[in-house]
Structure 1
Amino acid sequence: MRSLAFGAAAAIVFVMPAFANVHQSWTEILSTYVKTDSTGLNRFDYAKLKASAADSAKLDKYIVDLQKLTPSKMTDKEAFAYWANLYNAATVQVIIQNYPVKSIRDINKNIGNVFGGPWKLNILNVEGNALSLDHIEHGILRGEREAPNKAAFRVKDWKDPRVHYAVNCASIGCPNLPTKAFTAETLDADLDAGARAYVNHPRAVTVRADGRLTVSSIYKWFKVDFGNTDAGVIAHLTKYAKPELAAKLKASKGVAGDAYDWSINSPAVGRS
């Protein structure tokens, strides 16, 4: 898998005054409404944001402003940060529009979409392309599915498994929603921090009494991003695990199963 560590030069090629602080309002929202609980899980206070007309308007404006930009002309790191922030902000917006909900899967659930969720709805438009959350995550950032205007969005540049620690689906089982926006300058460090925070939390991996592992369903659904083997998944987990967990992973007897909690990552509804 290709890493986004392209060097300092790549991070400063695309410089525009209008772009420099474009993610500041998103950082302000995240720093206000994301709180880390005692277990290390980041929870977003959707009810509080929905009750704030000013901050709800700030979120809406941020998403509108992002859609006016041209990510195809950004550097790789700036574009990655752009898409990850847009995905996360749009997901929060969808939750706010439908709140209260117990799970993001309760949104848009119908006969034709029994799994539920807003992921296939074209809720965004960038560079004249109608986009869904799936287009952003799987088509643009992962490059594994069809996405509009692939050439312009340069999806082939990104084959980095850390994408799974960048996008958040508003669920307990998902890697943490960060407390600040992604930016080109700190992207690699932030992705690594997100990976470490998730891998070292029980919702990513637990070691059973028999030495086998229960892993997050992320590592099953998207195994191709982790080498497409259980050994590849374990190697990835070991890379970001703390020493005690890393030793257990190296001595493990393989992956026995997977689990995922679709409960909303809200302090009001989520589990404590």
Structure 2
Amino acid sequence: MLSKFLALLAWAGLYRVGLEILNADAPPSSAVVSPSNAVDLTSRFMQQLVDDWVSHDGRTVAYAALEQSPFYKRNFQEFRSLLKTVDPAQMQGAERKTFFINLYNLLTIDAILSMYSLPRSTLSVTQFWRRYGYQVGPYTLHLDDIEHGILRGNRPHPTSGDVMFASDDSRRVLTLPADHRIHSVLNCGAASCPPLASYFASDLDRKLDTSMANMCRDGVTSINKSTIIINSIFEWFRSDFGATEEEALRFLANCSDDPARSSALNAAAEGKRRYTYYYDWSLNNM
């Protein structure tokens, strides 16, 4: 019971545990890789993982098989070493966004496999999003740093309200303009997360548009006469989709390709339909 309570406090940013740098013991790679090549290598690394250990729909990961594979034992170690030689501040905007989207998903998987045994849920792991990180060139970054500090434009955490990078934090140079579409591609290891995929800088915007459209479709799981069930991402990150809850619901209605769903969501925005939010935190284990 205590561990669950601490995990909830940690998720809300109200409890801290020590940061575990998963590549702390990895020797820096001797290979000289340009920023653009590092982005491409990360994309291709993620693509191999998705091709071999993720289900066709991107929803589940074969964690046990991956953990025992040469890919995880050898290639992941080489990747961790490579990260120490990369300076993401030298990447162009689209490249940096691509790099950190893939890195977030890779770090999540690596963090899950670093535990003694698979958790029932990442939410049950105390301070999961601030407990595990990588050394990326001169920067130390955990999952919350990547999501909120970099990909959300250093916007406040949705529950704790704190920002990842203070005004004098050297990591602020990595911050990108906020893009609501990143919520359709970041996977935190839960069943209700967006599907896993690999992203490449050459067609990132197209893939983000497609992923966002899919999330608008899949983010409303049930519409009946009594209520509408919406993925909780649209509640937690409401400010990324609109200034008010009404605007966030209208955003969801406008990006839906189903007229009936759009009509129901617009009615909910007007207070004429009941709605609720739901998220399945079960581990996305195959």
| 2:146 aligns with one of 122, 136, 149 | 136
- RMSD, aligned α-carbons: 2.4
1:152 is aligned to 2:143: no
Q: 1:17 to 1:52 in 2, by over 3 A?
A: closer
- Mapped partners of 1:219, 1:209: distance in 2: 21
Confirm whether residue 100 of structure 1 aligns to residue 118 of structure 2: yes
User: Map of 1:42-121 to 2, 5 A cutoff?
Assistant: 42-98=59-115, 99-107=117-125, 116-121=126-131
Other structure's SS at 1:119 match = helix
Give the match's secondary structure for 2:229.
strand
The 1:61–1:236 alpha-carbon spacing in structure 2 relative to 1, beyond 3 Å, is farther
Unaligned runs of 5+ in 2: 1-33, 156-162
- Asked whether the 8 Å contact 1:63–1:86 carries over to 2, the reply is no
Q: Does 1:238 align with 2:256?
A: no
In structure 1, C-alpha distance between the alignment counterparts of 2:204 and 2:109, rounded to whole Å: 21
Q: Distance in 2 between matches of 1:262 and 1:18?
A: 32
Question: Aligned in 2, Cα 1:18/1:223: closer, same or farther, shift over 3 Å?
Answer: closer
Match of 1:53, as an amino acid? P
Change (3 A) 1:85 1:18: closer
Tell me how far apart the structure 2 counterparts of residues 96 and 15 of structure 1 sit (CA, whole Å): 27
What residue number does 2:225 align with?
A: 209
Of the three residues 215, 240, 249, the one matched with 2:265 is: 249
- Name the residue aligned to 2:136: 126
Q: Which stretch of the first structure deviates more once superposed, 233-242 or 157-166?
A: 233-242
The 3 A distance-change label for structure 1 pair 237 and 151 is same
Name the CA distance, whole Å, in 1 between partners of 2:141 and 2:150: 10
**SS of 2:97 mapped into structure 1:** helix
The alpha-carbon deviation at position 90 of structure 1 amounts to: 0.7
Using structure 2 for the length normalisation, give the TM-score. Answer: 0.74
| CA deviation after TM superposition for structure 1 residue 138, in Å | 0.9
Matched, 1:161 2:180: yes
- Contact 2:122/2:283 (<8 A) preserved: yes
Within the alignment, does 1:265 sit opposite 2:284 as a pair? yes
Count the aligned residue pairs: 237
**Among 26, 33, 51, which residue is 2:46 paired with?**
26
Deviations 1:127-177 (A, max 9, x none): 322221111111111121222424421x2x422111111211000121111
Give distance in 2, aligned partners of 1:240 and 1:61.
Answer: 40
Please list every run of 5 or more consecutive structure 1 residues that lacks an aligned counterpart in the other structure.
1-13, 108-115, 268-272
Paired letter, 1:32: D
Q: CA deviation at 1:197?
A: 2.3
Q: Distance in 2 between matches of 1:198 and 1:50?
A: 29
Give the Cα separation in 2 of the matches to 1:71 and 1:215. Answer: 35
1:17 and 1:260 map into 2 onto residues whose CA distance is 37
**Deviation string for 1:181-227 (max 9, x for gaps)?**
212111111112222222222x54532423x4332221111111111
Q: Return the letter of the residue paired with 1:140.
A: I
| Distance 1:186-1:258 versus aligned 2 partners, 3 A rule | same
Question: What SS does structure 2 have at the residue aligned with 1:159?
Answer: coil
1:31: Cα distance to partner?
Answer: 1.3
Percent of residue pairs bearing the same amino acid type = 25
